[in-house]
Amino acid sequence: MRILIVEDNSYARLTLKVAIEKMGHTIVGEACDFGEAIEKVNNIEYDLMLLDILIPGGNGLDVIRHITGTNKKVIAITAVYQDEIDKELMRLGVKGIVRKPFSYDDLKDAIKKCCDE
């Protein structure tokens, strides 16, 4: 699976990269802020985006809204625990929510579930 990572924290981004590569998936791009995220989703072919909800310059919800109507899958990566945000993520079609700090198994399970759909 071709995966795009949108995460502003360099340590979290590295952790995601290592885990994704260990699972055998391909990282096709990375972004660390809203502007880069929009540029990447417009110009890179990917199957799944791992998207931090709180990113500099905007927010992950707006990135999701930007790709609404495409067949792109999104898993939200967030430390935010708010029912309203979770409901909005699901309404926008997010395939899963992985909470920070996440384990390898949490991420693997979310990606597997997304792949199975």
pLDDT digits over 25-60, tens only?
A: 999 999 999 999 999 999 999 999 999 999 999 999
pTM for the predicted model, two decimal places: 0.95
Contact in structure between 72 and 92 (CB atoms under 8 Å): no
pLDDT for residue 115: 81
* Cα–Cα distance list, 9 to 13, 52, 69, 109, 115 (Å): 6, 9, 28, 22, 25
pLDDT score recorded for residue 69? 81
Rounded Cα distance, 67 and 76, in Å: 14
Residue ranges and CATH numbers for the domains of the chain are 2-110 (3.40.50.2300)
Gap between the Cα atoms of 35 and 56, Å rounded: 9
